[in-house]
Amino acid sequence: MTGLFSLASTSSETSPIVIYRDSYSPTSIVHIVINAPDFNSNPYAIDTIGDDPENKIIVATRESSISYRLVETGTDTGVFAGYLILSGTTSTCSPVCGPTNGYLAASGVDAITVSFTYTKDRTMSIIGVVVCSRRFVKN
């Protein structure tokens, strides 16, 4: 299966959100990185983002969406990362999935949107376009 992935930005220097993938197939891994130094609340610990209702991360395709949590890449970095897997079904997690256990339904020509609400009513997003040669098979 072939895929095309297009982003408005692919560099953390120009966008605080970066999404990238290995390739697109029914089990493709989509990596998510958010540069959010203001959420580095403890310089001696590894922090998380997305697990607070006021500071949420939503990853969506045209078929489904999932609340997601990312983990800091190290102590005092302010860079948060994780990944999810494209699938025929979407994970049900309580309260949120992530940073590595999420499945998100996608098929055919689709788009992936990652949105991060970082303060009340302030959200940043990035969109990636997926073009697959066949539909994903539901599990």
Higher pLDDT, 32 or 28: 32
Q: Structurally, how many domains does the chain consist of? A: 1
Respond yes or no on whether the N-terminal peptide bond of residue 99 is cis (omega within 30° of 0). yes
Per residue in 47-88, pLDDT tens?
Answer: 999 998 889 999 998 889 999 999 999 999 999 999 999 888
Q: Give 127-139 pLDDT, tens digit per residue.
A: 776 655 444 445 4
Give domain status of residue 25, yes or no: yes
User: Residue 39: which domain range?
Assistant: 3-132
For residue 137, being part of any structural domain is answered with no
Q: Whole-angstrom Cα distance, residue 105 to residue 85?
A: 9
In a domain, 106, yes or no: yes
Would residue 139 count as lying in a domain? no
Three-state SS for 37?
helix
**pLDDT, position 7:** 33
